[in-house]
A and B are shown apart, each in its own frame.
Chain A
Amino acid sequence: MNAIPPSGLSITHDSAAKHVTGEALYVDDLPEPPGLLHAYIQLSPHAHAKITRFDVSAVAAMPGVAAVMTAADIPGVNDVGPAFPGDPIFADGLVEYHGQSIFAVAAGSIALAREAAARAVIEYDKLPPVMTIDEALAAKTTVLPTQVMARGNAEAALERAPLRLKGRIDIGGQEHFYLEGQVAMAIPGEDGDMLVHSSTQHPTEVQHLVARSLKLSDHAVICETRRMGGAFGGKESQASLIACVAALLAQRTRRPVKLRLDRGDDMVLTGKRHEFRIDYDVGFDADGRVLGISFMQAGRCGYSPDLSGAICDRAMFHADNCYYLDHAHIVSYRCKTNSVSNTAFRGFGGPQGMMGIECVIDDIARHLGLDPLLVRQRNFYGTSDRNVTPYHMTVEDNIIPELVNALAESAAYSKRRAAIAAFNAKNPWVKRGLALTPVKFGISFTLTHMNQAGALVHVYTDGSVMLNHGGTEMGQGLYMKVAQVVATEFGLSIDRVKITATSTAKVPNTSPTAASSGSDLNGKAAQVAAIAIRERMAGVAAKEFGVTPEEVAFTGGMVTGGCRSLSFADVAKLTHRARVQLSPRAITPRRNCITTWQRTGAGRSFISRMARRWPRSRSIR
Chain B
Amino acid sequence: MRDTAHFLLGRDSRLVRDVSPTLTVLEYLRTVEKLCGTKEGCAEGDCGACTVALGEIDGDGVRYRAVNARIMFTPALDGKQILTVEHLRGTDGSPHPVQSAMVEQHASQCGFCTPGFVMSLFALHHASSPDDRASVNDALAGNLCRRTGYRPIVDAALAVGTGRADEGFTGDTAARLRALDTGDRLELRHGGQTWIAPRTIAELAEVLLKHPDAVLLAGGTDVGLWVTKQHRFLETIVTLDAVRDMAAIEEVDGTLRIGASAVYEDVLARLEALWPDVGILLRRLGSRQIRNRGTIGGNIGNGSPIGDTPPVLIALDATLVLRRGGEERLLPVAEFFLGYRRTALAPGEFIARIDLPLPRLGWRFRCYKVAKRFDQDISAVCGAFNLELADGVVRDIRIGFGGMAATPVHVPAVEQTLIGEPWTETNVHKAMNILDATLTPISDMRASASYRRMVARNLLFKLFLETTTPAAPAWRAWHERDPSLWAVHHA
Contacts and interface: CB of A to CB of B under 8 A. Distances in A.
B49 A21 contact: no
A13 B106 contact: yes
Contact of A19 (B36, B104, B114): B114
B39 A229 contact: yes
Interface residues of B, number: 43
B89 A21 contact: yes
A22 B471 CA distance: 49
A130 interface: no
Given A21-B99, A111-B231, A228 B110 contact: yes
Contacts of B49: 179
B475 A21 contact: no
A263 B110 contact: no
B146 A179 contact: yes
Interface in B24-63: 35-44, 47, 49
B43 A263 contact: yes
Given A17-B95, A232-B146, A180 B39 contact: yes
B24 to A, nearest CB: 12
A21 B471 contact: no
Interface stretch (B80-88, B234-242, B273-281, B370-378): B80-88
A262 B231 CA distance: 12
Most chain A beta carbons < 10 A, residue from B44, B84, B99, B146 = B146
A230 interface: yes
B100 to A, nearest CB: 8
Nearest to A429: B465
Nearest to A230: B110
A168 to B, nearest CB: 21
B430 interface: no
A230 B112 contact: yes
A128 interface: no
A23 B39 CA distance: 12
Contacts of B231: 111, 114
B106 A20 contact: no
Main SS of chain A's interface residues? loop
A476 interface: yes
Contact of A28 (B36, B146, B471): B36
Contacts of B229: 264
A227 B86 CA distance: 20
A474 B110 CA distance: 5
B221 interface: no
Contacts of A13: 106, 108-109, 111
B444 to A, nearest CB: 17
A229 B110 contact: yes
Interface string B452-476: 0000000000000100000100010
Interface string B130-171: 000000000000001111000000000000000000000000
A230 B475 contact: no
B5 interface: no
Contacts of B102: 16, 19-20
B125 to A, nearest CB: 14
B103 A12 contact: yes
B106 A21 contact: no
Interface in A551-569: none
B288 to A, nearest CB: 19
Nearest to B119: A22
A22 B109 contact: no
A18 B111 CA distance: 9
A19 B210 CA distance: 48
Interface in A4-26: 10, 12-13, 15-26
Most chain B beta carbons < 10 A, residue from A15, A19, A227 = A19
B118 interface: yes
B115 interface: yes
A54 interface: no
B43 A262 contact: yes
B88 A21 contact: yes
B99 A179 contact: no
B319 to A, nearest CB: 36
B193 to A, nearest CB: 13
B47 A179 contact: yes
Contact of B41 (A111, A179, A227): A179
A614 interface: no
A22 B36 contact: yes
Interface string A158-178: 000000000000000000111
A228 to B, nearest CB: 6
Given A15-B111, A179-B146, A429-B465, A263 B42 contact: yes
A522 B475 CA distance: 50
Contact of B85 (A22, A179, A231, A475): A22
B278 to A, nearest CB: 23
Interface string A282-296: 000000000000000
Given A22-B36, A178-B146, A229-B39, 20 more contacts: A10-B106, A12-B104, A12-B106, A16-B111, A17-B103, A20-B95, A21-B85, A22-B35, A22-B37, A22-B115, A26-B39, A29-B36, A177-B146, A179-B49, A227-B111, A228-B110, A230-B147, A263-B44, A475-B110, A476-B147
Which 5 pairs across A and B sit closest by C-beta, in order of nearness?
A22-B37, A475-B110, A229-B112, A19-B111, A475-B109
Interface of B: 35-44, 47, 49, 84-86, 88-89, 95, 98-100, 102-104, 106, 108-115, 118, 144-147, 229, 231, 465, 471, 475
19 contacts: A15-B111, A18-B111, A19-B102, A19-B108, A19-B115, A20-B108, A20-B118, A21-B89, A21-B99, A22-B86, A26-B112, A28-B40, A29-B37, A178-B110, A179-B39, A181-B40, A230-B110, A263-B43, A474-B110
